[in-house]
Structure 1
């Protein structure tokens, strides 16, 4: 039924808005299942726009990391995002950005910029930025990976000027997003050492948001994770701060 205007009622002012938003373009691997987790670090007024790399039918390992780091495919993904004019584009994958070392991660960001990103950062570059922001030079590493990928991550960190005092992995090559917090907490405890200044938990497909502050209180040191440094570094390039109550990286950046 059509509404009939009432001439005795003063017209209402049009609603204000929409509010201005800043966009972060997110390129992630085809099997990324944790879009919702990245959102948890976003402050008001920041929007995430996701796209994915092509599908590869193989287990998580070195071969897959090399496939999903293909510059041409990532540049195609970036081009699918630039129409919305994001402030920054991030490549949300740890293994795909550390697999070719520090120089490989830098070249990947440069490739994204050449495809039209106004600024770009990868998860692994965000990791080094976060360790520097925390003043950490000695780090313990916890991963869900097979040994071949964990070893490649330790090599990346050493190239980045960090000392890896220990590393532990779950030995998984699929379904990483299904790992429960209890398993990851046990892995972090196993990886930690007294001389480690922080623990890094790798893989953007491993859920971690809800355990970070809990494990930091238990260990008395920063516990930084792949999705955390992905969100934090992208926001930092925009001049914004991540949301993460009681998380040491977020608190340090806010000071």
Structure 2
């Protein structure tokens, strides 16, 4: 057998691929520390492309929320992903998208569309979509925020046609991603009321994935979180379902 024959006999078939992915562009604030959490909701074949807005040297509060909602900076972040051509772009920040009310959240999405996003959504818009999908009008709110931000969130929800029956906050202005699950679970318990149809846990920088089902079983109602609605709404807009075993939002939408 010639060397050419030996080579042909030993040649393996080339691997198929690369896989075709659907890309989700994620614009998030400079202090976002939980990229890994959003990945946990992603189904096979979906890729996340993260980019961040500029750094601001200040504590988490109303002033910072207003700074990070700057249209020009968010548009620059969207343009930085233009060559990748994401299928949808989400602004992954709760306070930055609710700080100027429902109109402000919609204006942010409009600004992202103007910068080249084919489809756009913000975390706070995703929250209203999720509450509507669950048929929820009365909600309890749990946040890690200072009171000024928690109050602004309740105003946003009111503008969105939702009644906030109670709200509790941790009063934090930094290091939110370091909050233990046990603290967040207690916060949810404190926020919950009998007449609340669901509990919303705010802030995309607060870890929540592993506590959702745990608290839903304990309270007997949906517990939805900022990162969950961010992932769910972006996926929904491209016709995909989020991964999250037994999470009420995901199960309700599938049924």
State TM-score, norm by structure 2.
0.97
Tell me what 1:95 maps to.
95
Q: Distance in 1 between matches of 2:159 and 2:177?
A: 28
Shift, 1:115, TM fit: 0.1
1:68 aligns with 2:72: no
Unaligned stretches of 5+ residues in structure 1: none
What are the equivalent positions in structure 2 for 1:58-207 lying under 5 Å apart?
A: 58-207=58-207
Q: Please give the secondary structure, in 1, of the residue aligned with 2:9.
A: coil
Tell me what 2:224 maps to.
224
Q: Distance in 2 between matches of 1:150 and 1:5?
A: 73
Shift, 1:85, TM fit: 0.7
Aligned residues: 252
State TM-score, norm by structure 1.
0.97
Instruction: Please report the RMSD computed on the Cα atoms of aligned residues, expressed in angstroms.
Output: 1.1
Q: Distance in 2 between matches of 1:133 and 1:176?
A: 28
Q: Distance in 2 between matches of 1:109 and 1:236?
A: 16
Cα deviation digits, residues 64-103 of structure 1 (max 9, x gap): 0000000000000000012101000000000000000000
Q: Please give the secondary structure, in 1, of the residue aligned with 2:25.
A: strand
Displacement over 3 Å in runs of 4+:
4-8
Shift, 1:34, TM fit: 0.1
Q: Please give the secondary structure, in 2, of the residue aligned with 1:7.
A: helix
The 1:251/1:57 distance shift into structure 2, 3 A limit, reads: same
Unaligned stretches of 5+ residues in structure 2: none
1:209 aligns with 2:219: no
Q: Distance in 2 between matches of 1:69 and 1:83?
A: 24
Q: Distance in 2 between matches of 1:5 and 1:140?
A: 72
Shift, 1:8, TM fit: 6.5
Shift, 1:10, TM fit: 4.3
Q: Distance in 2 between matches of 1:78 and 1:252?
A: 31
Cα deviation digits, residues 184-205 of structure 1 (max 9, x gap): 0000000000000000000000
